[in-house]
Chain A
Amino acid sequence: MASTILEMRDITKTFPGVKALSNVNLSVEDGEIHAIVGENGAGKSTLMKVLSGVYPTGTYDGQIIFRGQECNFRGIHDSEHIGIVIIHQELALVPMLSIAENIFLGNEHASYGVIDWDANETRTGALLKKVGLKEDPKTLITNIGVGKQQLVEIAKALSKEVKLLILDEPTASLSEKDSQALLDLLLEFKRQGMTSILISHKLNEVNRVADKVTVIRDGRTIETLPRKDISEDRIITSMVGRSLDDRYPPREPKIGEVIFEVKDWSVYHPIHAERQVIKNININVRKGEVVGIAGLMGAGRTEFAMSLFGRTYGRHITGEVLLRGKPLDLSTVSKAVENRIAYVTEDRKTYGLNLIDHIKHNVTLANLGGVSSRGVIDDMREMSVANDYRKKTNIRASSVYQLTGNLSGGNQQKVVLSKWLFADPEVLILDEPTRGIDVGAKYEIYTIIARLAAEGKAIIVISSEMPELLGISDRIYVMNEGRIVGEMAASDASQEKIMRAIVRGEGKAS
Chain B
Amino acid sequence: MSTDSAPAPQSGVAEDVKQGQRIAVSALTTNLREYGLIIALIVIMLFFQYTTSGTLFKPVNLSNLVQQNSFIIVMALGMLLVIVSGYIDLSVGSVAGFIGALAAMMMVIWPLGIFSNPLVVSIVCLFVGALIGAAQGYWIAYHKIPSFIVTLAGMLIFRGICQALLGGGSSVGPLPPSFKALSSGFIPDVIGPLTLIPPTVNAAGKTILGSGLTLHMTTVVLGLIAVLAYAYFGFRTRRKRERHGYEAEPFPLFVIKTLVGSALALFLVFQFASYRGLPVVLLVMGVLISLFVFVTKRMTIGRRIYAMGGNAKAAQLSGINTERLTLMVFINMGVLSALGGLIIAARLGQAVPAAGLGSELDVIAAVFIGGASAMGGVGQVIGAVVGGFIMGVMNNGMSIMGVNVDWQQVVKGLVLLGAVIFDVYNKNKA
Asked if B316 CB lies within 8 Å of chain A CBs, one says yes
Question: Which of A343, A361, A369, A399 makes the CB contact (< 8 A) with B306?
Answer: A361
Shortest beta-carbon distance from A203 to chain B in Å: 35
Which residues of B from 306 to 327 have beta carbons under 8 Å from A? 306-307, 310-311, 313-321
Asked if B378 CB lies within 8 Å of chain A CBs, one says yes
Contact at A354–B310, with CB atoms within 8 Å? yes
B372-395 to A contact mask, C-beta < 8 Å, 1/0: 010001100000000000000000
Given known A-B contacts A351-B314, A380-B240, A380-B244, A375 and B301 have beta carbons under 8 A apart: yes
Residues of B within 8 A of A368 (CB): 300, 303-304
Shortest beta-carbon distance from B247 to chain A in Å: 7
Interface residues on A, range: 20 to 34
Contact at B313–A334, with CB atoms within 8 Å? no
Residues of B within 8 A of A334 (CB): 319-321
Given known A-B contacts A356-B377, A357-B310, A377 and B317 have beta carbons under 8 A apart: no
Asked if B225 CB lies within 8 Å of chain A CBs, one says no
Contact at A365–B321, with CB atoms within 8 Å? no
Question: Which of B299, B306, B307, B316 makes the CB contact (< 8 A) with A312?
Answer: B316
Task: Report Cα–Cα, A145/B301, bound state, in Å.
Answer: 43
Residues of B within 8 A of A423 (CB): 319
Given known A-B contacts A368-B300, A368-B304, A375-B301, A353 and B314 have beta carbons under 8 A apart: yes
Asked if B298 CB lies within 8 Å of chain A CBs, one says yes
Contact at A351–B313, with CB atoms within 8 Å? yes
A363-388 to B contact mask, C-beta < 8 Å, 1/0: 00110110010011101100110000
Question: Which of B246, B301, B314, B319 makes the CB contact (< 8 A) with A354?
Answer: B314
Residues of A within 8 A of B247 (CB): 399
Residues of B within 8 A of A369 (CB): 300
Residues of A within 8 A of B299 (CB): 372, 375-377
A353 to chain B: closest residue by CB:
B314
Contact at A333–B318, with CB atoms within 8 Å? yes
Contact at B315–A354, with CB atoms within 8 Å? yes
Residues of A within 8 A of B306 (CB): 354, 357, 361
Task: Report Cα–Cα, A355/B309, bound state, in Å.
Answer: 11
Contact at B301–A333, with CB atoms within 8 Å? no
B299 to chain A: closest residue by CB:
A375
Given known A-B contacts A361-B306, A361-B307, A377-B299, A351 and B317 have beta carbons under 8 A apart: yes
Question: Which of B300, B313, B319, B377 makes the CB contact (< 8 A) with A336?
Answer: B319
Asked if A419 CB lies within 8 Å of chain B CBs, one says yes
Shortest beta-carbon distance from A17 to chain B in Å: 24
Task: Report Cα–Cα, A366/B244, bound state, in Å.
Answer: 24
Residues of A within 8 A of B321 (CB): 332, 334
Asked if A409 CB lies within 8 Å of chain B CBs, one says no
A416 to chain B: closest residue by CB:
B314
Contact at A377–B378, with CB atoms within 8 Å? no
Residues of A within 8 A of B241 (CB): 380
Asked if A469 CB lies within 8 Å of chain B CBs, one says no
Residues of A within 8 A of B298 (CB): 376-377, 379
Question: Which of A332, A337, A372, A384 makes the CB contact (< 8 A) with B244?
Answer: A384
Asked if A83 CB lies within 8 Å of chain B CBs, one says no
> In the complex, which of the residues B244, B300, B316 has the most CB atoms of chain A within 10 Å of its own CB atom?
B300
Asked if A434 CB lies within 8 Å of chain B CBs, one says no
Shortest beta-carbon distance from A232 to chain B in Å: 38
Contact at A355–B246, with CB atoms within 8 Å? no
Shortest beta-carbon distance from A388 to chain B in Å: 13
Contact at B300–A375, with CB atoms within 8 Å? yes
Task: Report Cα–Cα, A357/B241, bound state, in Å.
Answer: 21
Which residues of A from 143 to 163 have beta carbons under 8 Å from B? none
Task: Report Cα–Cα, A376/B297, bound state, in Å.
Answer: 9
B229-257 to A contact mask, C-beta < 8 Å, 1/0: 00000000000110010110000000000
Residues of B within 8 A of A467 (CB): none
Task: Report Cα–Cα, A379/B299, bound state, in Å.
Answer: 10
B246 to chain A: closest residue by CB:
A383
A115-158 to B contact mask, C-beta < 8 Å, 1/0: 00000000000000000000000000000000000000000000
> In the complex, which of the residues B244, B299, B311, B318 has the most CB atoms of chain A within 10 Å of its own CB atom?
B318
> In the complex, which of the residues A345, A368, A372, A419 has the most CB atoms of chain B within 10 Å of its own CB atom?
A368
Residues of B within 8 A of A336 (CB): 319
Asked if A350 CB lies within 8 Å of chain B CBs, one says yes
Residues of A within 8 A of B307 (CB): 354, 357, 361, 365
> In the complex, which of the residues A356, A365, A368 has the most CB atoms of chain B within 10 Å of its own CB atom?
A365
Which residues of A from 397 to 438 have beta carbons under 8 Å from B? 399, 419, 423
Residues of A within 8 A of B301 (CB): 375
Asked if A486 CB lies within 8 Å of chain B CBs, one says no
A317-342 to B contact mask, C-beta < 8 Å, 1/0: 00000000000000011101100000
Residues of B within 8 A of A345 (CB): 317
Residues of B within 8 A of A357 (CB): 306-307, 310, 377
Task: Report Cα–Cα, A320/B310, bound state, in Å.
Answer: 34
Residues of A within 8 A of B246 (CB): 380, 383
Residues of B within 8 A of A372 (CB): 299-300
B302 to chain A: closest residue by CB:
A377
Question: Which of B240, B304, B314, B373 makes the CB contact (< 8 A) with A352?
Answer: B314
Which residues of B from 282 to 310 have beta carbons under 8 Å from A? 298-301, 303-304, 306-307, 310
Task: Report Cα–Cα, A361/B303, bound state, in Å.
Answer: 8
Question: Which of A355, A365, A379, A399 makes the CB contact (< 8 A) with B318?
Answer: A365
Task: Report Cα–Cα, A366/B378, bound state, in Å.
Answer: 20
Residues of A within 8 A of B319 (CB): 310, 332-334, 336-337, 366, 423
Residues of B within 8 A of A361 (CB): 303, 306-307
A333 to chain B: closest residue by CB:
B319
A387 to chain B: closest residue by CB:
B246
Shortest beta-carbon distance from B408 to chain A in Å: 34
Contact at A355–B244, with CB atoms within 8 Å? no
Contact at A352–B303, with CB atoms within 8 Å? no
Task: Report Cα–Cα, A384/B299, bound state, in Å.
Answer: 18
Task: Report Cα–Cα, A355/B311, bound state, in Å.
Answer: 8
Shortest beta-carbon distance from B53 to chain A in Å: 45
Task: Report Cα–Cα, A474/B318, bound state, in Å.
Answer: 28
Contact at B310–A356, with CB atoms within 8 Å? yes
Contact at B310–A355, with CB atoms within 8 Å? yes
Contact at A333–B303, with CB atoms within 8 Å? no
Task: Report Cα–Cα, A357/B314, bound state, in Å.
Answer: 12
Shortest beta-carbon distance from A261 to chain B in Å: 23
Contact at A419–B318, with CB atoms within 8 Å? yes
Question: Which of B244, B304, B317, B378 makes the CB contact (< 8 A) with A333?
Answer: B317
A371 to chain B: closest residue by CB:
B300
Task: Report Cα–Cα, A21/B37, bound state, in Å.
Answer: 51
Given known A-B contacts A368-B303, A375-B299, A353 and B317 have beta carbons under 8 A apart: no
B375 to chain A: closest residue by CB:
A356
Contact at A350–B377, with CB atoms within 8 Å? no
Task: Report Cα–Cα, A343/B319, bound state, in Å.
Answer: 11
Task: Report Cα–Cα, A406/B316, bound state, in Å.
Answer: 22
Shortest beta-carbon distance from B225 to chain A in Å: 23
Task: Report Cα–Cα, A232/B327, bound state, in Å.
Answer: 55
Residues of B within 8 A of A354 (CB): 306-307, 310-311, 314-315, 377
Residues of A within 8 A of B310 (CB): 354-357
A398 to chain B: closest residue by CB:
B26
Task: Report Cα–Cα, A333/B314, bound state, in Å.
Answer: 11
Residues of B within 8 A of A356 (CB): 310-311, 373, 377-378
Residues of B within 8 A of A375 (CB): 299-301
A383 to chain B: closest residue by CB:
B246
A-B pairs with beta carbons under 8 Å apart, 10 shown: A309-B317, A332-B321, A351-B317, A354-B306, A356-B310, A365-B320, A366-B319, A368-B304, A376-B298, A383-B246
- Beyond A332-B321, A356-B310, A383-B244, 18 additional contacts (C-beta under 8 Å) are A310-B319, A312-B316, A312-B317, A333-B319, A337-B318, A350-B311, A352-B314, A354-B306, A355-B311, A356-B373, A357-B306, A357-B307, A357-B377, A365-B307, A365-B315, A372-B300, A375-B300, A376-B299
9 tightest A-B CB contacts, nearest first: A354-B310, A334-B319, A366-B318, A337-B319, A368-B300, A333-B319, A354-B311, A365-B318, A356-B310
